[in-house]
Amino acid sequence: MTDVLDQARAWLADDPDPATRQELQTVLDGAAGGDDAALADLADRFAGILQFGTAGLRGAIGAGPNRMNRAVVIRAAAGLAAYLRDTRSPANGSRHRVVIGFDARYRSYDFAVDTAAVMTAAGIEALVMPRTLPTPVLAFAVRHLAADAGVMVTASHNPPQDNGYKVYLGGPDGGSQIVDPADVQIAARIDAVPSVASVPRAESGWAEIGEEVVTAYLTAAAEVAEEGGPRDLRIVHTSLHGVGGVTVGEALIRARFTDVHAVAEQAEPDPDFPTVDFPNPEEAGAIDLALALAERVGADIVIANDPDADRCAVALPVRASDGDGWKMLHGDEVGALLGSHLAGRGARGVLANSIVSSRLLGRIAAAHGLEHSETLTGFKWISRVPGLAYGYEEALGYCVDPESVRDKDGISAAVLVAELAALTKAAGRTLWDVLDDLAVAHGLHATDQLSVRVDDLSLIGAAMARLRSAPPSSLGGSAVEVADDLLAGDGGLPPTDGLRYLTADSTRVVVRPSGTEPKLKCYLEVVVPVDGDAGAGVSAARTVARERLAAVRADVAAALGLEG
């Protein structure tokens, strides 16, 4: 107990923020007085410093090193500044340049200003976005302004109590998110910061980026839809209380999609996210208000973005033969639709997706004479594929214009989805019909996911060790023919903690610990050939796929030895 109290007192003396100093003092007083709850709280706050990795920083806002606060951010900024000075020549002239963006979450602006103050004092040109804006605009600005690095203060679709700090690198990295070894090198320099008080911070000297950069981004996003195509499409859009509403609306209008209805209750940025339990369009109930509005206005499509608008979700009216209501497309379905659309438009280059995403994109690429690449999970890897023309991952992330944004971009993806939906509507068809066409041409690729959340992280390590020592011999009744240990670099990819199984009937299972949550994630995919036409043939294949996925899911759950 004495060690934790001493650590807390030392941190308190170095904290530059009166709000978190008061917060920590209250917890410290309770712990020193013998309050068990306060002592447990203090121990958690000082369990270690919030780790800087390939996702930057992300955690709950609060006092202490294991939280997001000004002290942690100032240290992170100092580490990034030292990394740039030590390892990188300026991309444009004799002075490094860093662009800084922020969303509407609690403390985002404060963290952005602290970053600008540290960079300026370190002799680095700091450019701050003019207002709360989506992550893709910041990623665009890194390339557009030839910056050496970019910082986006956001926790994306995390719960309201969180915030985060995402880092991009310019120059030879092209505006992509950081990967190893840059993350390790930045983290080492953060660890070397002796105290917050030792970090110089300027009181002024940084500049605000002009609106012309936002305008340039909007122009690029709108231009992903080709001129002259149909635009008869009624769209309902929700930004889920995030910062994407205005930007998405303006991009759609510039692309001549004018029949757009925003969900009023979720249109304005609100860090409390009051109408949703969890601000992620994949979560149950998150787009209920959008679906209700779509019913009222007779919409053709619902498009939803997560709070920082780097992800894009799509919902469609179900087919008349399947009843009433709406259904959200899986990320793999949208990924295949957009990849097929771009390939059909004549895109040249490489189509890429992560190893946990569907293999359908590879078959689409082959059919169009295009190269396909499979990467580790995360856009930090997808964005670095040489010659990238399009990339996606199943978690609703799509890069449809890599020349402008080397990251997932839910805004340009929304414009491209709208173009495809309008073209399909003009032909008297729906996106369901297009998915059926892909199934007939390439086989029905059906995916599912099994996620196991744990309170004890050691259970994840034990489950992975169990699978490595005793891998399954069959899955869903089909013999396992290939068992790749991704940690050993099997399969030709950089080492990562994961396992991949391929069976005789083309079933694929990937098992990996989540990088952001205390979860073990299992990604399942079966491929069923379609006999006959796009009607009865696809329907029969879907029935077979559901049965096979259920069997595979049961086998994976049993092999893990954990309750899902």
10-residue averages of pLDDT along the chain (564 residues)? 87 97 96 92 93 84 98 98 96 92 98 98 98 98 97 95 97 93 95 97 97 98 97 98 98 98 98 95 95 98 98 95 90 98 97 97 98 94 97 97 98 98 98 97 96 85 91 95 92 90 97 83 96 86 96 93 65
**Rounded distance, CA 22 to CA 24, Å?**
5
Domain boundary among 379, 412, 439: 439
- Select from 209, 229, 261 the last residue of a domain: 209
Could you tell me if 431 and 424 are in contact, meaning their C-beta atoms sit under 8 angstroms apart? yes
Alpha-carbon span 345 to 343, nearest angstrom: 5
229 and 365: one domain? yes
- How many Å apart are CA 142 and CA 130, to the nearest integer? 15
Beta bridge partners of 153: 102, 165
Tell me, yes or no, whether 64 and 22 share the same domain. no
User: Based on the domain organization, do 469 and 434 belong to the same domain?
Assistant: no
Instruction: Quote the domain boundaries for residue 533.
Output: 443-560
Report the pLDDT value the prediction gives residue 324, as an integer from 0 to 100: 86
Last residue of a domain, one of 439, 471, 506: 439
Distances (CA, A) of 529 to 32, 269, 444: 67, 45, 6
Q: b vs e for 212-240, b when ≥16 Cβ sit within 10 Å of the residue's Cβ?
A: ebbebbbebbbbbbeeeeebebbbbbbbb
Residues 416, 473, single domain; the answer is no
**According to the model, what pLDDT value does residue 516 have?**
66
State whether 160 and 116 are in the same domain: yes
Helices (H), 407-477: 410-426, 431-442, 458-469
Q: What is the pLDDT of residue 492?
A: 82
Query: Are 295 and 227 within one domain?
Result: yes
Q: Are residues 224 and 317 in the same domain?
A: yes
Residues tagged active-site: 156
Contacts by residues 319-326 (CB-CB < 8 Å, ≥ 24 positions apart): 319/430, 319/432, 325/291, 326/291, 326/294, 326/295, 326/302
Clarify whether residues 290 and 322 are in a common domain.
yes
Query: What pLDDT score does 456 carry?
Result: 83
Measured distance CA(549)–CA(475) in Å, rounded: 10
Identify whether residues 203 and 73 lie together within a single domain: yes
- Any idea what the CATH number is for the domain that residue 82 is in? 3.40.120.10
Same domain, yes or no: 37 and 126: no
Give the span between the Cα atoms of 400 and 381, in whole angstroms. Answer: 15
300 plus 344 within the same structural domain: yes
> What is the domain count for the chain?
4
> Do 99 and 80 have their domain in common?
yes
